[in-house]
Chain A
Amino acid sequence: MSDVTRSTAAELGRRLAAREVSAVEVAQAHLDRIAAVDERVHAFLHVDTEGALKAARSVDEARVRGEELGPLAGVPVAVKDVMTTRGVPTTAGSKILEGWRPPYDATLVSRMRDAGLVMLGKTNMDEFAMGSSTEYSAYGPTFNPWDLARIPGGSGGGSAASVAAYEAPLAIGTDTGGSIRQPGAVTGTVGAKPTYGGTSRYGLIAFSSSLDTPGPCARAVEDAALLHAVIAGHDSRDSTSIPAPVPDVVGAARLGATGDLTGVKLGLVREFSGEGAEAGVAAAFREGVEALVKLGAEVVEVSCPHFDYALPAYYLIAPSECTSNLARFDGVRYGLRVGDDGSKSLEEVMSLTREAGFGPEVKRRIILGTYALSSGYYDAYYGQAQKVRTLISRDFATAFEQVDVLVSPTTPFVAFPFGSRTSDPYQMYLADLFTIPANLYGGPAISVPCGLSEGLPVGFQIMAPTMADDRMYRVGAALESAVPPLTPPPL
């Protein structure tokens, strides 16, 4: 494996700017790595060799012309298959969109192209981003580079695994209930969910619109911040995009890397410190907290009494929203159509198309959402969940009056073996126990590796107030500087 694929994105950007290496060489090295290992990892659903080399050539040409380029120009990126890419297959991990080539780019994708990032391809995911293991991808699972018999997390397991396996230095994920952070945690990589509305949803195939948030995956906190800075900021095509300046996340990551957290107050969430996490995860998390204390941080225990209700509230709100969002897959405008033999009505064709095109978890959630929204149940389920959402946001607001950030393990358990949580869907949902509150509140949260348990990576979650994304990068980079780096076994 070449040193190019081992480099951080920041280092690659510097070497490209110094013309020590060309963008074409960097792209080719990553394409070679993908060719060598992806048969075993299956991080990618589509590798865009031609598009990547073409984009890399144009960056090299721009540099020869002396154009001023951004810090990530020529750096490769993998993109979760839920973001639309013009002319490049986009499936959202579903059979219902097999073969679809979108006629437009997601805003994030155009911003990355404009910044000179080179898109390598599209990464595997649980169908429509519903799942915590990639086992619900219609195209087969992704395998965790740390142990190929275990899940890489989900829904963005492909993006996290591509970064962990050195197939890409950077990737884009989307986080609705933990789909960037939980895969980051179990693959020993960094995954950041920006403030909701801080990154555009235009071109993100919608699952739960009030929660879906795109963000960066990387092997280093500074790299995640560099990508965050490229993709964040107001987009007039997304009506929930926040019209405010993006916090200086790159500066914050560099400040954190100096290893001084004097005066920073960490809030330990009492409700997340009990029996929720397995012993090895809790131990690695405590060591992470101690490392931050050595850097000068102060620890305060805070209570967020409604966090215990976040998981039930989420599994009413998200399925309810998905029920409406997935109504667009009706076999008319794009994707699959089944049973249209001239004898069947539109309704029958729709029902047969959706039955054939959707997998089991998507169907369960559509049915669950339909139930939660139905007359007679609406107030008790969806309405009540929205009220609980208010109380969870108030818990965050109260906590942030006392502390700068909240910390917890990212996920209660390390990467689990395939098949161990698919028969009881609720066991799968528990993977997102600690990540969901930040989605309901809307604030930013990041997962940074903090150690190993049973030889597998453990993630440390840092949650910050809305639009204070810089804080999580500062604390995250400080943690990264204080714990030994994690390197997966060679593939």
Chain B
Amino acid sequence: MAAISREEVAHLARLSRLAVTEAELDRFAGQLDVILQAVTRVGEVAAADIPPTSHSVPLINILRKDVVVPGLERDEALAGAPDTADGHVRELATGQARYFRVPRILDEEA
């Protein structure tokens, strides 16, 4: 029996924000099925009372002095953006601002 169906792959692709094509769905479903059958083997290990490891270095609460250090300048941070927009910020002395510009977030029915 297949570990994963074409419909499940389509659903996971939507959750992952990947607009995959029909041809990719056909290909990925078969390939992911082979991979899942292989990785499912982790279930053979009796590990009910074993604690999980999320990280190989057991470091906790790494603290540092709260010192102000310069970050990126606004224009540097925006330099690689696919789209930016100029705007106005009342709180700024100059009133001038630049932003990342994004497509609309709310649907028309929302």
Q: Residues of A at under 8 Å CB distance from B?
A: 100-104, 196-197, 210, 236, 239-240, 242-243, 306, 309, 311-313, 315-316, 323, 330-337, 340, 342, 344-352, 354-355, 358, 360, 363-364, 366-368, 370-371, 374, 380-381, 383-391, 393, 424-426, 429, 440-442, 466
The complex places the Cα of A315 from the Cα of B34 at a distance, in Å, of 12
* A interface: dominant SS: helix
CA distance A326 to B73 in the complex (A): 24
Residues of A within 8 A of B15 (CB): 370, 374
> A309-B45, A388-B42 given as contacts; is B76 within 8 A of A351 (CB)?
no
Q: Which residues of A contact B47 (CB under 8 A)?
A: 384, 387-388, 390-391
B83 partner residues in chain A, CB cutoff 8 A: 337, 340
Cβ contact within 8 Å between A384 and B45: yes
Q: Cβ of A240 and Cβ of B103 under 8 Å apart? A: no
B110 to chain A, nearest CB (A): 10
Q: A346–B102 contact, CB under 8 A?
A: yes
Contact B56 A393 (CB under 8 A): yes
- Which of A348, A424, A466 meets B31, CB within 8 Å? A424
Asked whether any CB of chain A lies closer than 8 Å to the CB of B93, the reply is no
Instruction: Report the separation of the CA atoms of residues A465 and B88 in the bound assembly, to the nearest whole angstrom.
Output: 56
A242 close to B57 (CB less than 8 A)? yes
Contacts of A380 in B (CB 8 A): 43
Determine if B16 and A367 form an interchain contact, defined as CB atoms under 8 angstroms apart: yes
Per CB-CB distance, the 10 closest pairs between chain A and chain B, nearest first, are A442-B56, A386-B52, A337-B82, A334-B80, A387-B47, A351-B19, A355-B19, A103-B76, A312-B39, A389-B53
Q: How far is the CA of A242 from the CA of B55 in the complex (A)?
A: 13
Q: How far is it, in angstroms, between the C-alpha of A400 and the C-alpha of B101 when the chains are bound?
A: 54
Give bound CA distance, A313 to B50, whole Å.
15
Q: A332-B102, A370-B15 are in contact. Are A383 and B76 (CB under 8 A)?
A: no
- Inter-chain contacts of B104 with A (CB < 8 A): 345-346
Q: In the bound complex, how far is the Cα of B47 from the Cα of A383, in angstroms?
A: 10
Contact partner, B42, options A210, A313, A393, Cβ 8 Å? A313
Known: A351-B18, A384-B42, A389-B53. A425 touches B105 (CB 8 A): no
**Do A426 and B52 touch across chains, with their CB atoms under 8 A apart?**
no
Task: Indicate whether B54 reaches chain A with its CB closer than 8 angstroms.
Answer: yes
List 13 A-B pairs, Cβ < 8 Å. A103-B79, A197-B57, A210-B55, A243-B62, A313-B42, A346-B105, A351-B14, A355-B18, A371-B36, A387-B45, A388-B47, A390-B51, A442-B56
A386-B47 Cα distance, complex, nearest whole Å? 10
Q: Complex: how many Å from CA A442 to CA B28?
A: 31
Distance A147 CA – B36 CA, assembled complex (angstroms): 34
For B53, the chain A residues whose CB sits under 8 A away are 386-387, 389-390, 393, 440
Q: Which residues of A contact B82 (CB under 8 A)?
A: 331-332, 334-337, 340
Q: A335-B80, A425-B31 are in contact. Are A367 and B12 (CB under 8 A)?
A: yes
* Pairwise interchain contact A367-B13, C-beta atoms closer than 8 A: yes
**Which residues of chain A are within 8 angstroms of B20 by Cβ–Cβ distance?**
355, 363
Indicate if B64 sits at the interface (CB-CB under 8 A). Answer: yes
Q: Judging by beta carbons under 8 Å apart, are A333 and B57 in contact?
A: no
Q: Chain B contacts of A352 at CB under 8 A? A: 19
- For residue B90, CB closer than 8 A to chain A, the reply is no
- B85 cross-chain contacts in A, Cβ below 8 A: none
Produce 1/0 per residue, B31-43, CB < 8 A to A.
1101110111111
| A349 adjacent to B103 (CB under 8 Å) | yes
Contact yes or no, A391 B76, CB < 8 A: no
What are the residues of chain A within 8 A of B57 when measuring CB–CB? 196-197, 240, 242, 442, 466
Alpha-carbon separation in the docked complex, A409 to B35 (Å) = 24
CB distance from A25 to the nearest CB of B (A): 35
Instruction: Tell me the smallest distance from the CB of A382 to a CB of chain B, in Å.
Output: 9
Q: How far is the CA of A466 from the CA of B77 in the complex (A)?
A: 37
Q: Which residue of B27, B42, B45, B59 contacts A240 across the interface (Cβ within 8 Å)?
A: B59
Interface residues of B in 69-110 (CB under 8 A from A): 72, 76-77, 79-83, 100, 102-105, 107
- Known: A103-B77, A387-B45, A389-B52; 20 extra A-B contacts, CB below 8 A, are A103-B79, A239-B62, A242-B59, A243-B62, A309-B44, A312-B42, A315-B35, A344-B103, A351-B17, A355-B19, A360-B28, A363-B13, A364-B32, A367-B28, A370-B16, A371-B4, A381-B40, A387-B50, A393-B53, A466-B56
Inside 8 A of B36's CB, which chain A residues have their CB? 368, 371
Contact A367 B32 (CB under 8 A): yes
Within the assembled complex, what's the spacing in Å between the Cα atoms of A245 and B37?
A: 43
* A245 shortest CB reach to chain B, Å: 15
Q: Contact check, A332 vs B16: say whether CB atoms are below 8 A apart.
A: no
Taking the closest CB of chain B, its distance from the CB of A149, in whole angstroms, is: 25
Inter-chain CA distance A371–B52, complex, in Å, is 19
> Does B26 count as interface, using CB distance less than 8 angstroms?
no
Contact A368 B59 (CB under 8 A): no
Which of B4, B17, B39, B43 is in CB contact (< 8 Å) with A354? B17
B residues in contact with A334, CB < 8 Å: 80-82
Considering the chains assembled together, what is the distance between the CA atoms of A239 and B60 in angstroms? 9
| Min distance, Cβ A130 to any Cβ of chain B, angstroms | 13
Is the Cβ of A381 less than 8 Å from the Cβ of B39? yes
A242-B59, A367-B32, A386-B54 known; A103 and B17 CB under 8 Å? Answer: no
Which chain B residues lie closer than 8 Å to A316 at the CB level? Answer: 39, 42
**CB atoms of A345 and B105 under 8 A apart:** yes
Task: Give the distance in Å from the alpha carbon of A178 to the alpha carbon of B35 in the complex.
Answer: 19
Alpha-carbon distance between A100 and B76 when the two chains are bound, in angstroms: 12
A332 touches B81 (CB 8 A): yes
Q: How far is the CA of A126 from the CA of B105 in the complex (A)?
A: 33
